[in-house]
Amino acid sequence: MKPFGLAHLATGLLVISTATAAANPPTAKPNLLVILADDLGYGDLQCYNPQRGKIPTPHLDTLAAQGMRFTDAHSSSGVCSPSRYTLLTGRYHWRTRLQRGIVQLWEQPLIAPGRLTVADLAKQHGYRTACIGKWHLGWHWPIPAPHRPHFTGFGGQAGGGGANLITQATDAQRAAWREVFSLPIGGGPLAAGFDTYFGTDVPNWPPYCFIENDRCVGIPTALLPADELRRNQASIQGPALPDWQLEPILPTLRDRACAFLTNTAPRPEPFLLYLPLTTPHTPLAVNREWQGRSGLDNDAADLIMETDAAVGKVLTALHQSGAADRTLVLFTSDNGFAPYVGARELEARGHFPSGPLRGYKSDVWEGGHRVPFLVRWSKVVKPGSVCTQLVHQADLIATFADLLGVQLPAAAGEDSFSLLPLLLGQNQPTRPQAVSCAANGVPSLRQGPWKLVLAPDAQTGTAAHLYNLATDLGETTNLAAAQPQRVATLTALLEELIQNGRSTPGPAQTNDAPLQRFAPPTAALPNSHPAER
């Protein structure tokens, strides 16, 4: 059997996309509101998991009822930094230096200078752009080499303990923090096309303060108390504002988003608001009015309810601003539910965070990267509709370009296929394949119902896993031994995607770094859950 003809099929799909969009063009530039939850599982919303979901999510269920719910939508990875990169750029994260894991503490930006993002695209076409929330894609932290030792090695870690635990900052540490955190921080959202930014870079990591545009809001001069590292709260000890509290983070981001919508809607130019929430990821800092509300004796479940309510308030502000009818609202999650915050206990109480899917956050299995994906667009998207086609968070930038009636440059959105035909009611595939990875770099490739996982299976003795998701959504039966030719064909397709530097039609591009083609046999594969806390 000949390898799959990527360029041929993709070109055909592009023709379908363009023809459909041209036949039903939107009449004006819509506002764009993209809400990204953090660690919200596929089964955490009632509308996705009515039988085995026990957490009330009325606001998100209403959003689904008002628009389109996608059932086969995927993030680029089972953890957050790589998924955020792909969502903003339309390019698979594994084409960068970040081929496993996440952007680490004080690390440099992952989005390269000149790389087109959804914010850049919107800004080029007259949009006012804002990012409010969690960034976690790196900054140019102005930490000179002599000061580096003052920013790491405090000994505190998730759980409250740690070797050589430091309880009090030294004068030298405080002096270094005052110097560094008084300076502008480059390479963040403002460098990625956003006019304004407000948020916490990573809410469970230092610096424990808000950042506005490229400046810390206040100067962290205290060491976060070790007590804040317990009960799935903060994860790494480090510099903090003396009175820093974790509980106000979500309400503050919610209120900032509401204020942005209220103040921006009356302006003549359209807006793009990217709202990457910090929840229900750790810190599980549930505010008092939501503590115990889920009835499941689990902080993450309570925080999911609080997150749903926060989204509800943002959507109410959008409605009250008068801009709801001319705003495309997209809600999704960066990856699946984190198993270490009580997945097994929740399942014992009847709530299954991954619904019918295998695995959780970090995994290559569907529960790691198949995510909620809701789109509401008044008078364009049919209310109460459900789309079963394969889609990916990489598709945002091509979709936005399509609705603006522009073509992306050759070196942009290399893995992005427009969703506009699906939003307009078409029910034919818009992308020929999709790649999603585990936290440890193990890739999976989708083509139609088939899913290839390039890692060995000790049970079957095969070098790969092969599943037919149309008949085996829970990934229980590895068919690699029975269908070696299909494994070979899909493996060749993945190699083609790597070599071409893109999965969309267009001239070949260059990946940023040499790629590891598959995980070595010693790599941990299923349900290993590296602690991205």
Amino acid at 26: P
CA torsion 471→437→492→475, rounded to 10°?
-20
| Nearest-angstrom CA–CA distance, 500 and 515 | 12
| Nearest-angstrom CA–CA distance, 180 and 63 | 43
Specify whether the CB–CB gap between 204 and 236 falls below 8 A. Answer: yes
Write down the H helix ranges in 24-165.
58-66, 80-89, 118-124
Amino acid at 136: H
Concatenated DSSP letters of 398-442: HHHHHHHT-PPPTTS-TT----HHHHTT--S-S-S-EEEE-TTS-
Per-residue pLDDT tens, the chain, 533 aa: give them: 333 333 333 333 333 333 344 345 456 899 999 999 999 999 999 999 999 999 999 999 999 999 999 999 999 999 999 999 999 999 999 999 999 999 999 999 999 999 999 999 999 999 999 999 999 999 999 999 999 999 998 876 676 666 566 778 999 999 999 999 999 999 999 999 999 999 999 999 999 999 999 999 999 999 999 889 988 999 999 999 999 999 999 999 999 999 999 999 999 999 999 999 999 999 999 999 999 999 999 999 999 999 999 999 999 999 999 999 999 999 999 999 999 999 999 999 999 999 999 999 999 999 999 999 999 999 999 999 999 999 999 999 999 999 999 999 999 999 999 999 999 999 999 999 999 999 999 999 999 999 999 999 999 999 999 999 999 999 999 999 999 999 999 999 999 999 999 999 999 999 999 987 764 444 444 443 344 56
Q: Specify the pLDDT at position 527.
A: 43
Specify whether the CB–CB gap between 335 and 368 falls below 8 A. Answer: yes
| Nearest-angstrom CA–CA distance, 132 and 35 | 10
HSE on the CB side for 412, CA within 13 Å?
A: 20
> Exposed, middle or buried: residue 386 (CB in 10 Å: 0-12, 13-18, 19+)?
exposed
Query: 88: which 2 tokens?
Result: 């903003």
Q: Specify the pLDDT at position 526.
A: 44
Q: Is the pTM of this model over 0.85?
A: yes
| Nearest-angstrom CA–CA distance, 323 and 114 | 32
β-pairing, 196-199 vs 128-132, is parallel
| Three-state secondary-structure class, residue 363 | coil
Q: Specify the pLDDT at position 338.
A: 98
Exposure b/e, 283-322, CB count within 10 A at least 16 = b? bbbbeeebeebbebebbbbbbbbbbbbbbbebbebbeebe
Q: Specify the pLDDT at position 516.
A: 78
E strands, 47-153, where? 68-70, 73-74, 128-132
Q: Give Cβ neighbours of residue 15 (< 8 Å, ≥ 6 apart).
A: none
Instruction: Give the containing element (helix H, strand E) for 18.
Output: helix 6-23
Specify whether the CB–CB gap between 401 and 407 falls below 8 A. Answer: yes
E strands, 258-348, where? 271-280, 327-333
Q: Specify the pLDDT at position 127.
A: 98
DSSP letter at 527? T
| Nearest-angstrom CA–CA distance, 448 and 493 | 13
| Nearest-angstrom CA–CA distance, 106 and 274 | 23
Structural domains of the chain, with CATH: 1-142+185-203+246-533 (3.40.720.10), 144-183+220-238 (no CATH)
Specify whether the CB–CB gap between 329 and 33 falls below 8 A. Answer: yes
For 412, phi then psi, to 5°, come to: -150, 145
Query: In Å, what is the CA distance from 209 to each residue of 244, 287, 367?
Result: 7, 18, 32
In the β-sheet with 443-447, what is the strand arrangement from edge to edge? 434-437, 443-447, 450-453, 465-468
> Exposed, middle or buried: residue 500 (CB in 10 Å: 0-12, 13-18, 19+)?
middle
| Nearest-angstrom CA–CA distance, 349 and 52 | 10
Q: Give Cβ neighbours of residue 140 (< 8 Å, ≥ 6 apart).
A: 108, 109, 185, 186, 187
